[in-house]
Amino acid sequence: MAEPSIKRPKGTQDITPKEVNKWQTVEVACKTTAEDYGFSEIRTPTFEDTKLFVRSVGDATDVVQKEMYTVTSKGDSEFTLKPEGTAGVIRAVIENGMLNEAFPQKLFYLTQCFRHEKPQAGRLREFHQFGCEIIGTKSPAADADLIMLAADVLERIGIVETKLNINSIGCPNCRAEYIKALREYFSQYTDTLCETCISRLEKNPMRILDCKSPICSEVAKNAPVILDYLCDECKEHFDALKGILDAMEIEYRVNPRIVRGLDYYTKTVFEFICDNIGAQATVCGGGRYDGLIRELGGADTPALGFAMGIERLLIAAKRGRAEFIDRASCDIYLASIGQDALLKTAQLARSVRDIGFIAEYDIVGRSLNAQMKYANKIKAKFSAVIGDDDIKKGIIKVKNMETGKIDNLRLDDSFAEKFGDILTDYILNDDLDFDCL
C-alpha cells in the first residue's frame, strides 16, 4: 500500500467509507434516543477561551494540567480545543439567555474532543463524545431519567454486558469533612504516592482516588469512604435515586471509588463500564454539577449530565449485538454508448435521484463492457444500456440484475416514476420472500 508523504497525526483516526456506517449507526441511536427523551441538540465552537476549561473542568485535573491543546491566537488571546463538551454547552446556555427559558432545559451534543494523552485502543488525541445535559432541576427523578437515557442508548446500540456504577460525592458542606479525613489518611503515604498525587494532597485529595497508577490505587483501597460523610440532604437524594432505579428495574452497583473529583460535581456520579473491551472500559461518565453554572457566571442553577466516548461505544458495539446499517447500494446503473446517450443517461439519472433513488452513469469514459463490470461491482439493483437506437425509438430495457427480468420503459418524463414503481415492487416482494422463510 502506498504511503502519503505526510501522515495523519498520532492519536487521530480516519473514518473511511468502510467504517462510516458503524459510526452512523451509533450516532443515529444516540440522537434518536435523546430526542425520544425530549432532548434538543446544541452545537458549540470547537475552541474556547482557555479560562473556561480551567475554571469548569478544574485546574487540579489531568485534563487541565497535562492534556489541553492550547494555542495563542494572533493578538494575545489564548484558546483551547475542547477537551470535553459540558463547559462549552453551559457557557452557551448562559450566553444565549437560555437560563430564562422554561426549565428543565434538556440538551444533547455530538462533538469531537481533543486531549493530549498517550494513544492506545479506546484512548485517542482526537475523539468523539455524545453527551446529554439537564439544566434546572434538583430532583433525583432527573438523575434517574438521565441514567435511564444512558442505559437506553447503550441498549439500542446493542451494547450488552455493561455495568452501572453509582455513587454520591456529597455537596460542599458534607465534603469538607470528608476531604479533611482523606487528607489525613493519604498524608501517611507521602513516600508511596506518585508525584501528581502528592501535589493533589493539598489541592484536591479526592483526585487521588481516581489515579491510574497501581500503587496509588492500592493505597486508595482503604481510604475513608464518602458515603459515610454525607449530610442528610445528600443522603436523602441518593436514597431517592436508588429507590427510583430499583422501581425501574435498572441494575446498579454502589461504588464509593467513583469520585469524578471536580469541585463543581455534587451528589450523584455514575459510570457505565463495559468489561469486555479492554483497559479503557468506561463507556460513559456523568454526574450532577449543581455548582458549575454559578461558577461560570450564571444564576445558581442545579444541573447534571453525562458523556459517552463514541470510539469506546464502537469497540463495545462490535463485541456486542449491534446491527450496523449498511450503506444503500445503487438502484440503477445507466450505461451509455456514445456522446448523445451519455447526456441522456445524465438526465435520466438526475430525474431518478430527484425522487430519492440512487442512480449512477458513466463519468469515467469507459467501454460498455467496463461500464457493466462496474455496475456489477457496485451491486446495482437494476441496469439499462442506452445507445443512439434506443434514443430514436424512445424506449429502453431496464434489467433486474438479480433475476434478469426486463421491463421496457419509455424514455420520457415518466421514466423516473415508472422505474420507482418497478424498484418498489422488487423491494417489497423481496421482503415478502424473506418473511416467508
The DSSP symbol for 123 reads: B
- Output the smallest distance, CB 44 to ligand ATP, in A: 16
Distance CA 282, CA 164 (A): 10
3-state secondary structure of 30: helix
Please identify, using beta-carbon distances, which residue of 136 and 305 lies nearer to ligand ATP. Answer: 305
Task: From residue 185, give the alpha-carbon distance in Å to each of 171, 262, 285.
Answer: 21, 20, 27
Question: What is the Cα–Cα distance from 31 to 4, expressed in whole angstroms?
Answer: 35
**Alpha carbon distance 259, 208 (integer Å):** 9
Cβ–Cβ under 8 Å, residues 99 and 25:
no
Task: Give me the least distance between CB of 10 and ligand ATP, in Å please.
Answer: 12
CB 233 within 8 A of CB 144: no
Least separation in angstroms between residue 360's CB and ligand ATP is 37
Shorter beta-carbon distance to ligand ATP: residue 264 or 357: 264
With helix as H, strand as E and coil as C, how does 163-215 read?
A: EEEEEECCCHHHHHHHHHHHHHHHHCCCCCCCHHHHHHHHHCHHHHHHCCCHH
Pairing label, strands 395-400, 70-72? unpaired
Q: Which residue is nearest to ligand ATP (CB)?
A: 309
Determine which helix (DSSP H) or strand (DSSP E) holds 147, and give its type and residue range. Answer: helix 140-157
Residue number with CB closer to ligand ATP (237 or 260): 260
Pick the closer one to ligand ATP by CB: 281 or 409.
Answer: 281
Smallest distance, ligand ATP to C-beta of residue 415, A: 49
Per the CB < 8 A criterion, the answer to whether 295 and 266 are in contact is no
CB of 196 to ligand ATP, least distance (A): 14
SS3 105: strand
Name the site residues for ligand ATP (rule: CB under 6 A): 84, 115, 117, 122-124, 127, 129, 280, 282-285, 307-309, 311-312
CB of 126 to ligand ATP, least distance (A): 8
Give me the helices (H) in 42-119, please: 50-57, 62, 86-95
Q: Which is nearer to ligand ATP, 58 or 309 (CB)?
A: 309
- Distance in angstroms (rounded) separating the CA atoms of residues 387 and 343: 11
What's the min distance (Å) between Cβ of 26 and ligand ATP? 12
- Of 274 and 411, CB closest to ligand ATP: 274
Q: Which CB atom, from 277 or from 341, has the smaller least distance to ligand ATP?
A: 277
Least distance (Å) from ligand ATP to the CB of residue 248?
23
Nearer to ligand ATP, 280 or 400 (CB): 280
